[in-house]
Amino acid sequence: MGQSQSDERRAPPRDEVTKELADKFAQKCFTSLELYSLKDVFHSLADHEQQVRYLKEDTISRFLEIPDALGASSVLFQMVSYIGAFPFLEDAPAVLGLKEMVMVITLLTDRYQRVLARGAMDRRKLLFGSLAVHDRKMSEMRPNQQGNVPGNTIPKQSQDGKASPVMEQPLGFAIDKAGDDEDPDLDEDDDLVLAAFDSVDCINAFKHTGRSTMHGAMIPVDNWRKLVMLLLLIAPLGAQESLSSYSDRLSGDELEGLGTTADCVLACFLSVEPSPGIRFARFNTVIPASLPLLFNGFTALFEHFLFSKSLDLHKHKDNQPEPSTPPPEKRPPVLADTGSIMNPNILSQISFFIPGSSLFRQLRLLYSGDEDGFSMGSFETKVFNWRAPTILLVSGTRLPDEETHQITGAASSFLASLPSKRFPPGSGDKDERLIFGAYLNPPWKHTHRECFGDEDTLLFQLRPTHDVFRASTLNKDYASFTKPSASAPLGGVSFGCPPPQPTQAYRRSSMMSLGPVSLALDNSFEFGCFTHNYTSQGGAFQTSVARKFDFQERFEVSSIEVWGCGGDEEAKHQAERWAWEAREAEARRKINLGTGDIEADRALLEMAGLIGANRSGGSMG
């Protein structure tokens, strides 16, 4: 006990610890030019109050060009004012001075890992805390009843008697200690905070300071939706690229599509029952499994603070500026080709689990059923020569239930080919649009006795619920491409299904073999079936972490596309392969025996038993 009291007496003031940590972040995580730019930008933007410089909500929003149409400024400001209090998070919201902005930028751009080797997993806890409502009465209200976090500043007397600007205390930061908390991990010591104290040799004095006490904490649904819309918008943002250049996505149908995509992402955080918000247990489960790259857009956004527009690097030593240089070339669009499924919002959604460096301004439309025809032959011609990763997308509408609707024709035949064990659909709206997809690293090829793909293969759903099903390391039935034949009369394209077995009995050859977690398309690309057998084990893809129940989606295909990830080299290789195949096909069409008399050549071939006369071709007997 005496040692503990001694440690507390020796504890340095909090301001001193914060300053020392901010200085360490500044030295280790920023270049000298970035640090100079940050100081210049901060001083050009900061307000003054009692000789204290700080940033307000509207100042940050204007500088980062956060669009008013999203209504996300107050949510973003709540985040940064919480993170600015690091490592003393119980003191949030913080006055956003220079050292607090160093904390914010370091933590939101992942630069902290250069200093803090431990605690990377606890960054999710930090982000959750920055968005959560901590008041139990607020958390029990419906999302549309919850007010925004105010961002005004008012003078307030500090403990040392000096006036300092602080933000009005948001209702969301009032902690209600009563009641049970279903997220016990929140009450444990935060390794990220402890690592920060350890880096400045203060871990003993403040060992329990970083412990969260957020009983009943949750992120309001409405706030989370606004932030997800912002994250979708900034996902393709490049270094020093202006967010205003994406203003075309913020009006009319584009804005509506942005909201629809955000709702699909939001759906994976909510259970079947209505909920006013997202708790940490759900947040901490879904993010690493289905949205590991969700917050990557913050890097390019907050690095705007590290570039000062007033900094001229082209001056001579005699301070004479060089002639003005032309403005940088306009970046190409994030999606060069157009598709009926893929659009900028869908692309941003995919970048939440596939690195954007291989997506934005990199995708090429290889195959489109609408343009190239819904056939496996045209699919093979367009896709098989691509020597880089590919993304398949398929959209459709759910087929009606056979028990309540009379189904005839091709749809009836397709449903009859499915195993008799059926599961209910994954959601209740029978008319909603379904979008599934798959990411493949190796090139496509024909399936014979085994499937192709590797452990990086992904199966995913984008609508109406975002979900990602990662590859298993035990079962490797990742992908198959099988044209109909005598041994495999059904054929088709599938993911997670066992390959066709030529030796199987004919009575089963007309029945599809569906994997526990699988997507199967028939050989005409007219119908598809996604199966999620949660109670089963041993599939090629892991079950959902968000939907822990059995469901199956049987749908009529409306569009199917394949996009190639890669650059000019892959496109050049594919074009060369296409040209070679075209020359070979033309040569086969023109082949003759060299006599110049086509009728004579044909007669000679018939005598040889190669063509005509009801010959099978090739037999000389």
- Please indicate, yes or no, if residue 196 is contained in any of the structural domains: yes
Final residue belonging to a domain, choices 220, 248, 273: 220
Instruction: Extract the tokens encoding 162.
Output: 């000096």
Residue 138: per-residue pLDDT: 46
Listed in sequence order, the residues at least 6 apart from 268 whose beta carbon sits closer than 8 Å to its beta carbon are: 286, 290, 291, 465, 466, 467, 546, 547
Task: Report d(CA 55, CA 34) in Å as an integer.
Answer: 19
Please, are residues 17 and 200 in contact by the beta-carbon 8 Å criterion? Answer: yes
Residue among 270, 268, 180 at smallest CA distance from 217: 180
Residue 142: per-residue pLDDT: 44
Q: Are strands 390-398 and 479-482 parallel, antiparallel or unpaired?
A: unpaired
pLDDT digits (tens, 9 = 90+) for 193-202: 877 877 776 6
- Please indicate, yes or no, if residue 341 is contained in any of the structural domains: no
Residue 366: per-residue pLDDT: 96
Please, are residues 454 and 462 in contact by the beta-carbon 8 Å criterion? Answer: no
Residue among 82, 218, 77, 227 at smallest CA distance from 141: 218
Q: What does the pLDDT average to over 306-332? A: 61
Q: Are residues 384 and 529 in the same domain?
A: yes
pLDDT digits (tens, 9 = 90+) for 236-259: 999 889 999 999 999 999 999 999
Q: What's the pLDDT band for 235 if we cut at 50, 70, 90?
A: very high
Looking at 76-80, 385-389, 533-537, 594-598, which range is the least confident one?
594-598
- Please indicate, yes or no, if residue 250 is contained in any of the structural domains: no
Instruction: Extract the tokens encoding 436.
Output: 């599934």
Task: Report d(CA 96, CA 77) in Å as an integer.
Answer: 10
Beta strands in 240-362 (DSSP E): 277-278
- Please indicate, yes or no, if residue 394 is contained in any of the structural domains: yes
Q: What's the pLDDT band for 426 if we cut at 50, 70, 90?
A: confident
Backbone φ and ψ of 594, nearest 5°: 85, 5
Residue 194: per-residue pLDDT: 76
Residue 567: per-residue pLDDT: 60
- Please indicate, yes or no, if residue 20 is contained in any of the structural domains: yes
pLDDT at residue 281 above 60? yes
Residue 2, classified by CB atoms within 10 Å of its CB into exposed (0-12), middle (13-18) or buried (19+), is exposed
Q: What's the pLDDT band for 578 if we cut at 50, 70, 90?
A: low
Instruction: State the maximum Cα–Cα separation within the chain, in Å, rounded to a whole number.
Output: 112
More confident residue, 425 or 175: 425
- Please indicate, yes or no, if residue 306 is contained in any of the structural domains: no
- Please indicate, yes or no, if residue 236 is contained in any of the structural domains: no
- Please indicate, yes or no, if residue 510 is contained in any of the structural domains: yes
Alpha-helix residue ranges (DSSP H) falling in 85-199: 98-108, 123-131, 136-139, 191-199
Task: Report d(CA 109, CA 501) in Å as an integer.
Answer: 50
Final residue belonging to a domain, choices 192, 220, 248: 220
Q: What's the pLDDT band for 175 if we cut at 50, 70, 90?
A: very low
Q: Domain residues for 503?
A: 351-568
How many domains in the chain? 2
Mean pLDDT of the chain: 81
- The DSSP secondary structure of 272-332, one letter per residue, reads SS--SEE-HHHHHHHHHHH-TTTTTHHHHHHGGGG--TT--TTB-TTSPBPPPPPPPPPPP
Residue 554: per-residue pLDDT: 95
Residue among 182, 213, 200 at smallest CA distance from 89: 213
